[in-house]
Structure 1
Amino acid sequence: MEAVNKIIKHTLKTKLEERKGNWLEELPKVMWSYNTTPRSTTGETPFMLTYGYEAMVPVEVGLGSLRRDRYAERDAEVNQRLHLDLLEEARENSQLRVAAYQQRVIRYYNKKVKGQLLKVGDLVLRKVMPNMKNPRHGVFGVNWEGPYKIKTILWKGT
Protein backbone atom coordinates (compact mmCIF):
# COMPACT_ATOMS: atom_id res chain seq x y z
CA MET A 1 0.00 0.00 0.00
CA GLU A 2 2.86 2.38 0.74
CA ALA A 3 4.21 1.94 -2.78
CA VAL A 4 0.76 2.60 -4.27
CA ASN A 5 0.26 5.65 -2.09
CA LYS A 6 3.70 6.95 -3.08
CA ILE A 7 2.84 6.66 -6.79
CA ILE A 8 -0.54 8.34 -6.30
CA LYS A 9 0.96 11.16 -4.19
CA HIS A 10 3.71 11.76 -6.76
CA THR A 11 1.22 11.87 -9.66
CA LEU A 12 -1.13 14.11 -7.70
CA LYS A 13 1.73 16.44 -6.79
CA THR A 14 2.71 16.71 -10.47
CA LYS A 15 -0.88 17.53 -11.45
CA LEU A 16 -1.25 20.10 -8.65
CA GLU A 17 1.88 21.96 -9.72
CA GLU A 18 0.17 22.56 -13.08
CA ARG A 19 -3.21 23.48 -11.57
CA LYS A 20 -2.13 25.30 -8.36
CA GLY A 21 -4.44 23.51 -5.93
CA ASN A 22 -7.80 21.82 -6.41
CA TRP A 23 -6.54 18.36 -5.42
CA LEU A 24 -10.12 17.20 -4.93
CA GLU A 25 -10.87 17.73 -8.63
CA GLU A 26 -7.64 16.05 -9.72
CA LEU A 27 -7.87 12.96 -7.48
CA PRO A 28 -10.43 11.01 -9.60
CA LYS A 29 -8.30 11.57 -12.72
CA VAL A 30 -5.16 10.40 -10.95
CA MET A 31 -6.93 7.32 -9.58
CA TRP A 32 -8.35 6.51 -13.02
CA SER A 33 -4.93 6.81 -14.63
CA TYR A 34 -3.39 4.61 -11.94
CA ASN A 35 -6.02 1.89 -12.36
CA THR A 36 -5.84 1.87 -16.18
CA THR A 37 -2.05 1.96 -16.64
CA PRO A 38 -0.36 -1.43 -17.10
CA ARG A 39 2.22 -2.28 -14.44
CA SER A 40 5.71 -3.25 -15.54
CA THR A 41 5.77 -6.08 -13.00
CA THR A 42 2.51 -7.79 -14.01
CA GLY A 43 2.02 -6.56 -17.58
CA GLU A 44 -1.64 -5.90 -16.73
CA THR A 45 -3.71 -3.06 -15.31
CA PRO A 46 -5.17 -3.36 -11.80
CA PHE A 47 -8.63 -2.93 -13.39
CA MET A 48 -8.02 -5.91 -15.70
CA LEU A 49 -6.83 -8.12 -12.84
CA THR A 50 -9.91 -7.18 -10.81
CA TYR A 51 -12.73 -7.27 -13.37
CA GLY A 52 -11.32 -9.43 -16.19
CA TYR A 53 -11.40 -6.87 -19.01
CA GLU A 54 -9.92 -3.49 -19.82
CA ALA A 55 -11.64 -0.28 -18.75
CA MET A 56 -12.74 2.37 -21.21
CA VAL A 57 -10.85 5.62 -21.05
CA PRO A 58 -13.17 8.64 -20.57
CA VAL A 59 -12.10 10.02 -23.97
CA GLU A 60 -13.17 6.73 -25.55
CA VAL A 61 -16.62 7.08 -23.95
CA GLY A 62 -17.12 10.66 -25.12
CA LEU A 63 -15.72 10.46 -28.65
CA GLY A 64 -16.56 6.86 -29.40
CA SER A 65 -14.41 3.97 -30.51
CA LEU A 66 -14.69 0.73 -32.43
CA ARG A 67 -15.32 -1.17 -29.20
CA ARG A 68 -18.11 1.23 -28.21
CA ASP A 69 -19.67 1.56 -31.67
CA ARG A 70 -19.89 -2.23 -32.17
CA TYR A 71 -21.32 -2.91 -28.70
CA ALA A 72 -24.08 -5.52 -28.59
CA GLU A 73 -25.71 -6.43 -25.26
CA ARG A 74 -25.96 -10.16 -26.02
CA ASP A 75 -22.34 -10.46 -27.25
CA ALA A 76 -21.10 -8.40 -24.30
CA GLU A 77 -22.62 -10.84 -21.82
CA VAL A 78 -20.98 -13.83 -23.53
CA ASN A 79 -17.64 -12.01 -23.77
CA GLN A 80 -17.80 -10.99 -20.12
CA ARG A 81 -18.31 -14.61 -19.03
CA LEU A 82 -15.41 -15.66 -21.26
CA HIS A 83 -13.16 -12.98 -19.79
CA LEU A 84 -14.13 -13.97 -16.25
CA ASP A 85 -13.27 -17.60 -17.05
CA LEU A 86 -9.85 -16.51 -18.30
CA LEU A 87 -9.28 -14.09 -15.42
CA GLU A 88 -7.71 -16.70 -13.13
CA GLU A 89 -5.21 -17.59 -15.86
CA ALA A 90 -4.34 -13.90 -16.34
CA ARG A 91 -3.78 -13.55 -12.59
CA GLU A 92 -1.51 -16.60 -12.53
CA ASN A 93 0.47 -15.23 -15.49
CA SER A 94 0.86 -11.90 -13.73
CA GLN A 95 2.11 -13.69 -10.59
CA LEU A 96 4.72 -15.45 -12.73
CA ARG A 97 5.77 -12.08 -14.20
CA VAL A 98 6.06 -10.62 -10.69
CA ALA A 99 8.25 -13.53 -9.59
CA ALA A 100 10.48 -13.11 -12.66
CA TYR A 101 10.69 -9.36 -12.01
CA GLN A 102 11.69 -9.95 -8.39
CA GLN A 103 14.39 -12.39 -9.48
CA ARG A 104 15.79 -9.78 -11.90
CA VAL A 105 15.84 -7.19 -9.11
CA ILE A 106 17.57 -9.61 -6.73
CA ARG A 107 20.19 -10.46 -9.37
CA TYR A 108 20.78 -6.76 -10.07
CA TYR A 109 21.33 -5.86 -6.42
CA ASN A 110 23.37 -8.95 -5.58
CA LYS A 111 25.70 -8.90 -8.59
CA LYS A 112 28.28 -6.76 -6.77
CA VAL A 113 28.09 -8.65 -3.48
CA LYS A 114 31.28 -10.57 -2.72
CA GLY A 115 30.66 -13.39 -0.30
CA GLN A 116 33.20 -14.05 2.43
CA LEU A 117 33.31 -17.20 4.51
CA LEU A 118 33.89 -16.50 8.18
CA LYS A 119 35.92 -18.77 10.43
CA VAL A 120 35.93 -19.48 14.15
CA GLY A 121 37.84 -16.68 15.87
CA ASP A 122 36.97 -13.94 13.33
CA LEU A 123 35.66 -10.62 14.67
CA VAL A 124 32.28 -9.48 13.35
CA LEU A 125 29.80 -6.65 13.88
CA ARG A 126 26.07 -7.15 14.35
CA LYS A 127 23.52 -4.80 12.76
CA VAL A 128 21.24 -3.07 15.27
CA MET A 129 17.62 -3.56 14.23
CA PRO A 130 15.24 -0.55 14.35
CA ASN A 131 13.22 -2.00 17.25
CA MET A 132 16.41 -2.41 19.33
CA LYS A 133 17.68 1.17 18.81
CA ASN A 134 17.45 3.67 21.64
CA PRO A 135 14.79 6.20 20.51
CA ARG A 136 16.51 9.01 22.43
CA HIS A 137 19.54 8.78 20.14
CA GLY A 138 17.51 9.53 16.99
CA VAL A 139 19.29 9.32 13.63
CA PHE A 140 22.70 9.58 15.32
CA GLY A 141 22.32 6.29 17.19
CA VAL A 142 24.63 3.36 16.55
CA ASN A 143 23.94 1.11 13.55
CA TRP A 144 26.30 -1.70 14.55
CA GLU A 145 27.19 -3.54 17.76
CA GLY A 146 30.36 -5.36 18.56
CA PRO A 147 32.90 -6.54 17.78
CA TYR A 148 31.93 -10.11 18.55
CA LYS A 149 34.18 -13.16 18.22
CA ILE A 150 32.80 -16.19 16.36
CA LYS A 151 32.75 -19.23 18.71
CA THR A 152 31.09 -21.86 16.52
CA ILE A 153 29.69 -22.19 13.01
CA LEU A 154 26.37 -24.04 13.00
CA TRP A 155 26.19 -24.38 9.20
CA LYS A 156 27.59 -22.60 6.17
CA GLY A 157 26.52 -18.94 6.06
CA THR A 158 25.62 -18.51 9.74
Structure 2
Amino acid sequence: MPKEGMGVTPFHLVYGGEVVVPVEIGIESDRIRRYSEDNAERRQLELDLVDETRAKAAIRLMEYRQRMKQNYNRRVVPRSFQVGDFVWKKVKPVGDVTKLEAPCAGPFKVVEKLRSGAYYLEDENGRRLERPWSANHLQPYRAE
Protein backbone atom coordinates (compact mmCIF):
# COMPACT_ATOMS: atom_id res chain seq x y z
CA MET A 1 0.00 0.00 0.00
CA PRO A 2 1.49 3.42 -0.81
CA LYS A 3 2.41 5.57 2.12
CA GLU A 4 -0.12 8.11 3.34
CA GLY A 5 0.21 11.31 1.32
CA MET A 6 1.50 9.51 -1.78
CA GLY A 7 -0.92 9.42 -4.67
CA VAL A 8 -2.14 6.13 -6.00
CA THR A 9 -0.81 5.90 -9.54
CA PRO A 10 -2.54 4.03 -12.36
CA PHE A 11 0.41 1.60 -12.37
CA HIS A 12 -0.19 0.85 -8.68
CA LEU A 13 -3.90 0.27 -9.32
CA VAL A 14 -3.16 -2.20 -12.12
CA TYR A 15 -0.10 -4.03 -10.79
CA GLY A 16 -0.34 -3.42 -7.06
CA GLY A 17 3.03 -1.71 -6.66
CA GLU A 18 5.16 1.09 -7.94
CA VAL A 19 7.13 0.83 -11.15
CA VAL A 20 10.88 0.14 -11.12
CA VAL A 21 12.52 1.66 -14.17
CA PRO A 22 15.47 -0.13 -15.81
CA VAL A 23 17.84 2.62 -14.69
CA GLU A 24 17.06 1.74 -11.06
CA ILE A 25 17.98 -1.90 -11.73
CA GLY A 26 21.33 -1.08 -13.38
CA ILE A 27 22.27 1.56 -10.82
CA GLU A 28 21.25 0.40 -7.41
CA SER A 29 18.73 2.83 -6.08
CA ASP A 30 17.77 3.14 -2.45
CA ARG A 31 14.63 1.14 -3.09
CA ILE A 32 16.59 -1.76 -4.65
CA ARG A 33 19.25 -1.76 -1.88
CA ARG A 34 16.62 -1.95 0.86
CA TYR A 35 14.76 -4.85 -0.74
CA SER A 36 14.69 -7.96 1.41
CA GLU A 37 12.55 -11.07 1.86
CA ASP A 38 10.44 -9.14 4.40
CA ASN A 39 9.52 -6.86 1.51
CA ALA A 40 8.15 -9.86 -0.38
CA GLU A 41 5.78 -10.60 2.50
CA ARG A 42 4.77 -6.98 2.68
CA ARG A 43 4.27 -7.02 -1.09
CA GLN A 44 1.91 -9.97 -0.74
CA LEU A 45 -0.09 -8.03 1.88
CA GLU A 46 -0.27 -5.08 -0.52
CA LEU A 47 -1.60 -7.35 -3.25
CA ASP A 48 -4.30 -8.51 -0.88
CA LEU A 49 -5.38 -4.88 -0.45
CA VAL A 50 -5.36 -3.97 -4.17
CA ASP A 51 -9.13 -4.39 -4.48
CA GLU A 52 -9.69 -2.02 -1.56
CA THR A 53 -7.29 0.53 -3.09
CA ARG A 54 -9.11 0.34 -6.43
CA ALA A 55 -12.47 0.78 -4.70
CA LYS A 56 -11.19 3.90 -2.90
CA ALA A 57 -9.88 5.30 -6.19
CA ALA A 58 -13.26 4.65 -7.85
CA ILE A 59 -15.03 6.50 -5.02
CA ARG A 60 -12.66 9.47 -5.36
CA LEU A 61 -13.27 9.53 -9.13
CA MET A 62 -17.04 9.47 -8.60
CA GLU A 63 -16.80 12.36 -6.10
CA TYR A 64 -14.64 14.31 -8.55
CA ARG A 65 -17.13 13.80 -11.38
CA GLN A 66 -20.00 14.86 -9.13
CA ARG A 67 -18.19 18.08 -8.17
CA MET A 68 -17.51 18.81 -11.87
CA LYS A 69 -21.18 18.23 -12.72
CA GLN A 70 -22.36 20.53 -9.92
CA ASN A 71 -19.90 23.21 -10.98
CA TYR A 72 -21.06 22.99 -14.60
CA ASN A 73 -24.77 22.95 -13.73
CA ARG A 74 -24.34 26.03 -11.54
CA ARG A 75 -23.64 28.09 -14.69
CA VAL A 76 -26.35 26.59 -16.91
CA VAL A 77 -29.28 28.90 -17.56
CA PRO A 78 -32.35 26.74 -18.22
CA ARG A 79 -34.64 28.05 -20.95
CA SER A 80 -38.13 26.80 -21.55
CA PHE A 81 -40.73 28.23 -23.89
CA GLN A 82 -44.42 27.47 -24.38
CA VAL A 83 -46.39 27.28 -27.61
CA GLY A 84 -47.40 30.84 -28.50
CA ASP A 85 -44.33 32.51 -26.93
CA PHE A 86 -42.27 34.87 -29.03
CA VAL A 87 -38.50 34.37 -29.21
CA TRP A 88 -35.37 35.76 -30.82
CA LYS A 89 -33.26 33.31 -32.86
CA LYS A 90 -29.46 33.68 -32.75
CA VAL A 91 -27.88 34.41 -36.13
CA LYS A 92 -24.55 32.82 -37.04
CA PRO A 93 -22.23 35.31 -38.73
CA VAL A 94 -21.47 34.32 -42.34
CA GLY A 95 -18.95 36.06 -44.58
CA ASP A 96 -18.34 39.79 -44.09
CA VAL A 97 -20.47 40.54 -41.06
CA THR A 98 -19.83 43.76 -39.25
CA LYS A 99 -20.00 44.21 -35.52
CA LEU A 100 -23.02 46.46 -35.87
CA GLU A 101 -25.33 43.78 -37.29
CA ALA A 102 -27.88 42.30 -34.95
CA PRO A 103 -26.86 39.02 -33.29
CA CYS A 104 -30.49 37.81 -33.31
CA ALA A 105 -33.31 37.63 -35.83
CA GLY A 106 -37.00 37.66 -35.17
CA PRO A 107 -39.33 37.72 -33.47
CA PHE A 108 -40.48 34.17 -34.12
CA LYS A 109 -43.48 32.44 -32.62
CA VAL A 110 -43.12 29.01 -30.98
CA VAL A 111 -45.61 26.68 -32.72
CA GLU A 112 -44.49 23.26 -31.43
CA LYS A 113 -42.39 22.02 -28.53
CA LEU A 114 -40.51 18.72 -28.89
CA ARG A 115 -39.60 16.41 -26.00
CA SER A 116 -35.89 16.92 -26.77
CA GLY A 117 -36.13 20.61 -25.80
CA ALA A 118 -36.20 21.83 -29.40
CA TYR A 119 -38.87 24.10 -30.85
CA TYR A 120 -40.47 24.62 -34.23
CA LEU A 121 -40.85 28.30 -35.05
CA GLU A 122 -42.81 30.42 -37.50
CA ASP A 123 -42.00 33.93 -38.68
CA GLU A 124 -44.27 36.96 -38.57
CA ASN A 125 -45.75 36.01 -41.99
CA GLY A 126 -46.89 32.64 -40.63
CA ARG A 127 -44.27 30.58 -42.50
CA ARG A 128 -42.96 27.67 -40.44
CA LEU A 129 -39.15 27.29 -40.35
CA GLU A 130 -37.96 24.04 -41.91
CA ARG A 131 -36.14 22.63 -38.88
CA PRO A 132 -36.50 22.74 -35.10
CA TRP A 133 -34.29 25.04 -33.02
CA SER A 134 -32.61 24.22 -29.72
CA ALA A 135 -33.46 26.38 -26.70
CA ASN A 136 -29.72 27.17 -26.52
CA HIS A 137 -30.12 29.25 -29.70
CA LEU A 138 -33.28 31.05 -28.63
CA GLN A 139 -33.87 33.97 -26.30
CA PRO A 140 -37.15 35.28 -24.95
CA TYR A 141 -38.65 38.18 -26.89
CA ARG A 142 -39.54 41.17 -24.74
CA ALA A 143 -41.46 43.97 -26.40
CA GLU A 144 -40.43 47.24 -24.83
Question: What is the TM-score when the length of structure 1 is the normalising length?
Answer: 0.46
Q: Give the structure with the higher percent helix.
A: 1
Larger Rg: 2
Question: What is the TM-score when the length of structure 2 is the normalising length?
Answer: 0.50
